[in-house]
A = this chain, B = another copy of it.
Amino acid sequence: MNKIVKNIKEALNLCGIKDGMTISFHHHLRNGDNVINMTVNALQELGIKNLNLCASSLFQVHSPIISAFDDETITTVESGYIGGDVGVAISNGKLKNKAVFRSHGHRPSDIKSGKIHIDVAVIAAPTSDDMGNCSGKFGKSACGSLGYAMADAQYADKVIVVTDNLVSYPLCDFSIPETQVDYVVCVDSIGDPEGIVSSTTKITRDPAGLRIAKFAVDCIKNSGLLKNGFSFQTGAGGASLAAAMYLKEIMLKENIKGSFCMGGITGYIVDMLEAGCFETLFDVQCFDLRAVESLKNNPRHKEVSAEHYASPTSKSCIADKLDVVILGATEIDTDFNVNVHTNSQGIIMGGSGGHSDVAAGSKLSIIVAPLIRARLPVIVDRVNCISTPGKTVDILVTQRGIAVNPAKKDLAERLKASGLPVFDIEALKNIAEDFSGKPEPVERGNKIIAEVLYRDGTVIDEIMNYCG
């Protein structure tokens, strides 16, 4: 007895797929993922309509699913991040219903509570046995952690594992157990390794980016939080990685033993683990091959679920134990509200991911951003979309200076006393506008095409269609 069925279409039929259902996916294969496109194609061939596509993130590689918006195979999208042409299509009103954005921590919370009811979860698994014990650590399409898929596997009515590396029962080092899996489908390729993990994530060489990183680390150093037991999260952007590099230098020089690093993990963070800067890495997603190798081999590098990472309704989560996070922004306003959902024209090009979760959970949240991007100031009067509320944002670091949330007076004093260039955020805004001029207000459409849920379940903002 095993659970293997011959293709995705058959698995969907066995799951009793029908119109109006919710079908879920995870995004560990990132911009290399084949599984969403293959599945959506099968759904189109089956003639299923009005589906809710609940994907933890969507990328440029998923642009073929726009055709399923057109033919109403998919009429709702719920996601943590919608990049590339898919975001543009939604902004252009191609999706019948509103898209719904949730943070990466909020998603497993709503899955667990039943606010999101998943009828069929599709798990892209780089390795699986014939009963569905599966892992992201092994195989030609290895992606490392499967942390975002865990809630889907646990709570969906039906679970299909799609793999391109079937191994003999049992897969010992499984991340998702067979107890949760109904069917296993073997395909030639679940994804393109080039898009799944970068072979190299690179530190920025841009002088402005390096300056931002240096300032950010100076803020950390002078915050009072950088001491034994320090915990940290940063992203995979060039400036964030540069900040990790500077932070590592300081921690080694000053012999500071941190406790844990959380996140999407890169090789730079693995270096910090191996150098003794941290005791533990918690990994909900691997960004590069070095992170995958480390997760596989280093017992101090541990895969965790998205719920454990950041669910606001779990009995506790790692995000709430973070000292410092470094995060990006497409825009930030003078109330420190951050936009990572849309570009400055209001077109969907991303999403919160875990941004709002860790901003809320951490003791110190630092936004790193250039003062001007694509000839437009990053600091604005009011962001096009509130992704992360200003009350959870402590510091903005730009290449020209630092702004501290007025609610954090002590912090501002500390940073000023250390000689850092601390400005009012309005002053930084003015500096930028002196260069680039004040941008024209964006003309928004009159149709709500997406709503952004905050991690407490409230609608924190709505995104209108683009009519530029």
Interface of A toward B, CB cutoff 8 Å = 1, 3, 131-132, 159, 168-170, 172-174, 177-182, 229, 259-260, 279-280, 282, 299-300, 302, 304-305, 307-308, 311, 314-318, 320-321
Contacts and interface: CB of A to CB of B under 8 A. Distances in A.
Contacts of A229: 168
Given A315-B132, A315-B159, A316-B132, A321 B179 contact: no
A1 B362 CA distance: 12
A170 B131 contact: no
A173 B299 contact: yes
Given A178-B315, A314-B179, A259 B170 contact: yes
Given A1-B320, A3-B316, A315-B132, A307 B179 contact: yes
Which of A229, A316, A317 has the most C-beta atoms of chain B within 10 angstroms of its own C-beta?
A316
A317 B179 contact: yes
Contacts of A317: 178-179
Given A169-B321, A179-B317, 7 more contacts: A3-B315, A131-B316, A132-B316, A177-B308, A178-B317, A179-B305, A179-B316
A9 B273 CA distance: 40
How many copies of the chain does the oligomer comprise? 2
Nearest to A309: B179
7 contacts: A3-B315, A170-B318, A172-B260, A172-B280, A172-B299, A178-B316, A182-B315
A90 B300 CA distance: 46
Nearest to A262: B170
A315 B179 contact: yes
A320 B2 CA distance: 11
A280 B169 CA distance: 10
A134 to B, nearest CB: 13
A305 B177 contact: yes
Given A170-B282, A299-B172, A299-B173, A315 B1 contact: no
A299 B317 CA distance: 26
A177 B304 contact: yes
A179 B304 CA distance: 11
Contacts of A170: 259-260, 280, 282, 318, 321
Contacts of A172: 260, 279-280, 282, 299-300, 302
Contacts of A320: 1
Nearest to A311: B179
Nearest to A172: B280
B168 A259 contact: yes
Which of A170, A279, A304 has the most C-beta atoms of chain B within 10 angstroms of its own C-beta?
A170
B308 A178 contact: yes
A316 B181 contact: yes
Nearest to A179: B314
A302 B302 CA distance: 15
Contacts of A169: 259-260, 321
